[in-house]
């Protein structure tokens, strides 16, 4: 079985081809037969897992397994405790209520590389960083959740999928999972969270 972890840069599609000529996974990954287990939006960054195992892909993406995904989220303004609690309980979106999430205000992640295209900066509007852990993957969910509680997302970086993290990678880099990482990922993926 082949499984790799990849730091998807900003403005890269989570696919191997694009008729419009935008950057894709093929610009970074030359491993045949692997496909993304889930996706990250074009304007999001961070951890993407790719595998040739349909079974592992299904375990990581099917909603009934509620596999945790952790994001670093830079938002406009500084969320108060009420907004954080709303994120923790679940947010009402136009396609239904989200599952409860882990949400915490964190210090600026010092080891996070600058984005290739800087975020919009407004002198009079502070920003803050959150760490959010979700167990579902609705379309553009993190962005819609933070906007729903009044703190729009400026930058979004997925830092972990279950036990697999970005540690040791830079944007555009990938590594094969070690046997230990793959075993931990399978153990995590087997835990059903209904």
- CB atoms inside a 10 Å sphere around CB 151: 23
Residue 41 bears catalytic tag: yes
In the chain, the DSSP E strands lie at 3-8, 35-36, 45-51, 69-76, 92-93, 96-97, 102-106, 127-134, 153-161, 164-165, 174-176
- 8-state DSSP, 66: -
CA distance 26 to 82: 43
Question: Among 18, 27, 30, 41, which one carries the catalytic annotation?
Answer: 41
Q: Are the beta carbons of 178 and 171 closer than 8 angstroms?
A: no
Q: Which residues are catalytic?
A: 41
């Amino acid at each position: 079985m082949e499984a790799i972890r990849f730091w998807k840069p900003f403005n890269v599609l989570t696919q191997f081809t694009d008729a419009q000529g935008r950057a894709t996974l093929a610009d970074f990954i030359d491993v045949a037969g692997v496909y993304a287990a889930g996706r990250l939006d074009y304007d999001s960054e961070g951890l993407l897992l790719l595998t040739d195992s349909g079974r592992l892909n299904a375990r990581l993406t099917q909603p009934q397994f509620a596999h945790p995904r952790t994001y670093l989220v830079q938002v406009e303004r500084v969320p108060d405790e009420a907004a954080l609690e709303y994120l923790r309980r679940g947010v009402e979106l136009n396609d239904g209520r989200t599952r409860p999430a882990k949400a915490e205000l964190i210090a600026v992640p010092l080891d996070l590389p600058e984005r290739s295209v800087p975020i919009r900066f407004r002198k009079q509007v502070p920003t803050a960083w959150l760490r959010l852990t979700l167990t579902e993957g609705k379309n553009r969910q993190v962005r819609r959740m933070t906007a729903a509680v009044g703190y729009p997302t400026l930058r979004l970086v997925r830092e972990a999928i279950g036990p697999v993290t970005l540690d040791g990678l830079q944007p555009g880099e990938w590594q094969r999972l070690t046997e230990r990482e793959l075993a931990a990922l399978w153990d995590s993926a087997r835990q059903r969270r209904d």
